[in-house]
Amino acid sequence: MNEQPNNPLHGITLEKLLIKLVAHYGWDELGREIDIRCFNWEPSIKSSLKFLRKTPWARTKVEELYLATDFDAPG
């Protein structure tokens, strides 16, 4: 396995990342931050993961929001 010491997302699965964002923001705020259908219409982890795995631009936006989020601050 290649080590990626400079990759801040190394070792974090997309599912864990998404669960943490939903716990912090909630679906409503997450849908306002990133306006994609899977966050705004009948959102679920499963449907969001399916979309994000197929849609690189959306996944990039989610990863960027995750990196920019201060999880110690209230959501």
* Domains, the chain, with CATH or none: 19-67 (1.10.720.30)
Q: What is the mean pLDDT of residues 54-71?
A: 95
- Tokens 């396995």, located at residue: 1
CA 28 vs CA 36, 46, 63, 67: distances in Å: 11, 17, 18, 19
Under 8 Å between Cβ of 29 and 75: yes
Average pLDDT of the chain is 91
pLDDT tens track for 15-30: 999 999 999 999 999 9
Under 8 Å between Cβ of 58 and 17: no
Cα 44 to the center of its chain, rounded Å: 12
